Amino acid sequence: LIVAGLARRREKIEELAETLKNHPGKLHAVECDVSQEESVISAFAWIKENLGSIAVLVNNAGVTIETSLS
């Protein structure tokens, strides 16, 4: 299984990939800030160019806006 892990802090994915290096498959770290459209477009372009088409997408990211409850 080939996985592209997207995160604002690419080094976090790289650290995780290092812990998985003795397991089957490959985890690629890709920098991506989901609050920036161009960052998302760039990340998916990299994936398509380097890894091919996407078979499964898991979205575990979000954008929050802090506000008071009052």
Predicted confidence at residue 65, as pLDDT, reads 80
Residue among 27, 47, 31 nearest 39 (CA): 31
Predicted confidence at residue 1, as pLDDT, reads 86
Predicted confidence at residue 20, as pLDDT, reads 93
CA gap 21, 38 in Å, rounded: 30
pTM of the model: 0.77
Number of CB atoms found within 10 A of residue 14's CB:
14
Per-residue tens of pLDDT for the chain, all 70 residues: 899 999 999 999 999 999 999 999 999 999 999 889 999 999 999 999 999 999 898 888 766 788 887 7
